[in-house]
Amino acid sequence: MTKKQKKMLIRIIVSAALMIAFLFIPMEGALRFLAYMIPYLIIGYDILIKAVKGILNKQVFDENFLMAIATVGAIALAIVDNGDYTEAIAVMLFYQIGEWFQSYAVGKSRKNISDLMDIRPDYAHIEKGGHLEQVDPDEVEIGSTIVVQPGEKVPLDGIVLEGFSTLNTSALTGESLPRDICPGEEIISGCINMTGVLKIQTTKEFEESTVSKILDLVENASSRKSRSEDFISKFARIYTPAVCYSALALAILPPLVLLFLGSDPQWYSWIYRALTFLVISCPCALVISIPLSFFAGIGGASKAGILVKGSNYLETLSKTKIVVFDKTGTLTQGVFEVSAIHHNLMDQEKLIEMAALAESASSHPISKSLQKAYGKEIDRSRVSDIREISGHGIQAKVDGHEVLIGNDKLMKENQISYIECHQTGTILHMAIDQTYAGHIVIADRIKPTSKQAMQALRNCGIQKTVMLTGDIQKVAKEFAGQLGLDAFYSDLLPQDKVEKVEELLAQRPEKSVLAFVGDGINDAPVLSRADIGIAMGAMGSDAAIEAADVVLMDDDPLQIAKAIKISKKCLRIVYQNIVFAIGIKLACLLLGALGLANMWLAIFADVGVMVLAVLNAIRTLSIPK
């Protein structure tokens, strides 16, 4: 509990104790009034102050105004009639109990967000003259060398220069499994260095680092409201003044009609009904519990390593019926290795050398796998006239020889006869000086949980799973068959993926949502075009955080089903609270207007419904298995 919550709890206990004690102490007149005003002001002074400020600021119609008018009116009736002030105190007391529950629930859901905020580093160590100097992460420039000691947070993204260690990435991924790191590997900010001393060369400034972008994403998540939240906000703006005027009409019109007809106007009875009507009408249950449900849902998701950019995306995610996947790095590990060389007319090592040199300017995983297979430092002076042919391959001059390396389309375009490969994988055909030189087979591995993820998606209501890939049809078909996908599209260029998603969007059933899952680097246009973009395996990827609506900090495909389950549970609770709160309110308002409800039923209709709705809302914090 916070200091503010503890203070409120003390006020609730003291006020309740005094009210109960005064019931057993015989008092009359002014003494009784003054005695009962003590617990009333202890519990309600802040509500009265807020109500007065609202009137002065011309923002009259809110729950503070309703509570103030209802309780002050109840006190006025007690002075005139029976001297029973307990109803007024009870209304304020139970309202504050409801507010305390709401504050506690928000605090609990905020804890998951604040736990994530703990990844923000406080300092960075720079080595100067054999000593470590502590500086603000904002002051560290790109290319600087920082030192991270065991137990410290990694303050900036970079590449490990020296040291071996184990990283705790749980704050980022939601997974407690540690990750080993060694020289040459990329490291992201926000992780905790557990064992060895690491020297890291920074590759990004703090503002552009992973930790900074994640924190910005989470901090701004609550600003993007869902349709349900917008509906409740608009509803409350119209509803609150409407019930205030209705209560005023209920207090004045029936007595005037009775007076006109020559009957007893029964002012006390109708004013009491109007005050009861006001207490019942307070829209706290809706105004508090609906945003709280989404806030808790976002907090619960972040705890699982699923960052949702706003409650509007959480709502959209719950309606997902079609999931479209990129293949490489999403369903596969994205770790390419040279698995075979066929029909080569020169020595294998020489062929790999020529291929690695031709691909030396590309950052594509396939190029990196060729450079890894070559295993030597690339001499860029041996390469010239490099030209990347989108969707086909590379053309370059290596040691004066013209080298073509790419798919069968590249060979056909250059009228070079080639030999087809019957092995599964990415096939790179090579031609040197317009003569076919053989082909290299590069294989990627399916992620261990990819197949399980497809079944999990079907279990949570996904009707269609689709894979988009630039691979040839044979390779794509084998992958799709192994994973049990419903459809696949192969031989796609980057721009073809956007067109294919456009087609799928046009063909989808009405009101069904299409989600695209990609690695967030090459797939940014498709992530933006889909109804909801999910970036996975995207730690450190600016494109993922910029283009996607949901970022999965772990590259496990099973997280997609978990994200959809969290969103569905959240929306289920939101709709339960809307139906429950509005249903009870309308029933009790009718009873209040007919004089069949007293102030105690009004307390239940307001505070009781709010407490039950809030308790239901915080269920979104628990993460489905």
Active site residues: 326
Q: Alpha carbon of 588 to those of 11, 265, 378, 585, 592: distances in Å?
A: 29, 24, 79, 5, 6
Query: What's the Rg (C-alpha) of the chain?
Result: 33
CA distance 103 to 123: 32
Question: Please, how many CA atoms are within 13 Å of residue 255, restricted to the half-sphere of its CB?
Answer: 15
Q: How many of the other CB atoms lie within 10 Å of CB of 377?
A: 7
Residue for token pair 């993926």: 497
Q: For residue 129, what is the DSSP state?
A: T
SS (HEC) of 66-86: HHHHHHHHHHHHHHHCCCCCH
CA distance 264 to 621: 55
Closest CA to 567 of 304, 329, 324, 327: 304
CA distance 194 to 151: 5
Range list of β-strands (E), 196-351 = 198-202, 306-308, 320-326, 337-342
CA distance 293 to 223: 14
CA distance 469 to 407: 14
β-strand partners of 590: none
Residue for token pair 């990329």: 186
Q: How many of the other CB atoms lie within 10 Å of CB of 467?
A: 23
SS3 87: helix
Q: Which helix (H) or strand (E) element contains residue 131? A: strand 131-135
β-strand partners of 393: 389, 406
Q: Alpha carbon of 59 to those of 212, 281, 555: distances in Å?
A: 37, 18, 48
How do 198-202 and 158-162 pair as beta strands?
antiparallel
By the 8 A CB rule, do 294 and 229 touch? Answer: yes
Q: Alpha carbon of 170 to those of 210, 305, 513, 561, 569: distances in Å?
A: 15, 8, 31, 19, 24
Contacts 24+ apart (CB under 8 A), 554-559: 554/173, 554/174, 554/175, 554/305, 555/329, 555/447, 556/447, 556/449, 556/453, 557/330, 557/331, 557/447, 557/449, 557/450, 557/453, 557/517, 558/449, 558/452, 558/453, 558/456, 559/304, 559/305, 559/306
Residue for token pair 């999910």: 534
- Contacts (Cβ under 8 Å, ≥6 apart) of 208: 542
CA distance 61 to 302: 35
Q: How many of the other CB atoms lie within 10 Å of CB of 85?
A: 23
DSSP string covering 25-47, please? Answer: S---HHHHHHHHHHHHHHHHHHH
